[in-house]
């Protein structure tokens, strides 16, 4: 059975427009020969379990899709991508999926999106039907009870995926997360890829392209569709409504004199005041990176 099937989910319960169709056009251009399956309220079982019924009643399509992305992977296998994903190199994805289909060592693929604190890519993953990971994640949502009421605090996809590894006894000292690794590894039948493969852009009030390498397959553009007006990421959510950025836009920004000047100041600042070994070095690097992007459009 071919796993070259891309699953895409969108619920427009409150009349929201699907603003990420530009990225879907990118998929079609880069992933020739793949099958695309569009899932929505007309072809998904919206009375499947208490969590699904609660999200439908609340018209919360974002957290409803958090469950159904694992459900479609469990039932059908293939690749799930968030709508705001850009394919960088379709050939590299082909190679990864060909290796995946041929392997008996692992039955799911996932990436990481933070170098220093862990966090798994709930925006992009692949699975064979009824993989251990997809079964675990579906069962987690199906047995939440009233915890769905705190979904925006507790049910953050990159975080709760770590529970799978904790349950299996892996990465216990880091609460189920893995970070600081340079090459893909297999743990409990899941192949985990370093950040540069699936998340070369780092999230924040202003997303930053900082891990683009020759290995990068795709990029998540962090549309932040579930954040409200008083949230940290609402500015980025509004920006994505006006204009969808692509990797080429980030690369163009980095060529600007303003960007180069700020990056040089960052280097000098870190080297002088936060030498290697300083406990505050990582904090300073993150803060300086945010400052670099202020005023760059």
Q: Could you give the CA distance from residue 263 to residue 247 in angstroms, rounded to a whole number?
A: 19
Count of CB atoms within 10 A of residue 33's CB?
Answer: 8
Higher-scoring residue by pLDDT: 210, 133: 133
What mean pLDDT is reported for the chain?
A: 84
Whole-angstrom CA distances from 16 to 12, 45, 138 are 5, 21, 26
Task: Work out the end-to-end distance of the chain between its first and last CA atoms, rounded to an integer number of angstroms.
Answer: 45
pLDDT the model gives residue 231: 43
Cβ atoms of 66 and 54 closer than 8 Å: no
CB-neighbour burial class of residue 170 (10 A; exposed 0-12, middle 13-18, buried 19+): middle
Give bridge partners of residue 126 from the DSSP assignment.
Answer: 79, 109
Average pLDDT over residues 67-85: 97
What is the per-residue pLDDT for 237? 45
Report residue 87 as tokens: 């394919």
Strands across the sheet with 5-9, in order?
35-39, 5-9, 78-81, 120-127, 108-112, 190-193, 185-187
Architecture of domain 5-252: Alpha-Beta Complex (3.90)
Query: CA-CA distance, 248 to 234, in Å (whole number)?
Result: 23
pLDDT in tens, 198-247: 999 987 656 788 899 999 999 999 875 544 544 444 444 444 445 568 89
Read off the pTM.
0.82
The pLDDT score that the predictor gives to residue 258 is 62
State yes or no: pLDDT of 168 exceeds 70. Answer: yes
Distance of CA 171 to the CA centre of its chain: 20
Cα 88 from Cα 271, distance rounded (Å): 33
């Amino acid at each position: 059975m071919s796993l070259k099937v891309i699953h895409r989910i969108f619920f427009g319960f409150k009349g929201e427009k699907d603003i990420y169709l530009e990225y879907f056009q990118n998929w079609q251009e880069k992933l020739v020969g793949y099958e695309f399956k569009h899932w929505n309220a007309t072809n998904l079982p919206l009375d499947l379990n208490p969590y699904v019924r609660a999200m439908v009643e609340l018209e919360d399509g974002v957290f409803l899709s958090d469950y159904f992305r694992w459900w479609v992977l469990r039932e059908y296998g293939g690749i799930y991508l968030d709508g705001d994903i850009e394919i960088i190199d379709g050939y590299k994805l082909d190679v990864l999926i060909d290796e995946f289909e041929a392997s008996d060592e692992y039955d799911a693929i996932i990436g990481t999106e933070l170098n220093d604190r862990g966090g798994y890519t709930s925006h992009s993953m692949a699975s064979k039907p009824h993989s251990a990971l997809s079964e675990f994640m579906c069962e987690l949502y199906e047995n939440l009870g009233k915890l769905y009421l705190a979904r925006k605090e507790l049910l953050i996809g990159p975080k709760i995926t770590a529970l799978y590894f904790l349950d299996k006894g892996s990465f216990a000292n880091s609460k189920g997360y893995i970070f600081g690794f340079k090459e893909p590894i297999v743990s409990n039948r899941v192949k985990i890829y370093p950040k540069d493969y699936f998340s070369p852009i780092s999230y924040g009030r202003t997303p930053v392209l900082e891990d683009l390498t020759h290995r990068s397959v795709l990029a998540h553009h962090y549309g932040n569709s579930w954040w409200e007006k008083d949230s940290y990421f609402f500015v980025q959510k509004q920006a994505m409504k006006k204009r969808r950025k692509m990797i080429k836009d980030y690369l163009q920004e980095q060529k600007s004199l303003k960007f180069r000047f700020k990056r040089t100041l960052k280097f000098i600042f870190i080297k002088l005041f936060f030498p290697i070994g300083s406990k505050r070095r990582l904090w300073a690097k993150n803060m300086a990176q945010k400052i670099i992007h202020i005023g760059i459009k």
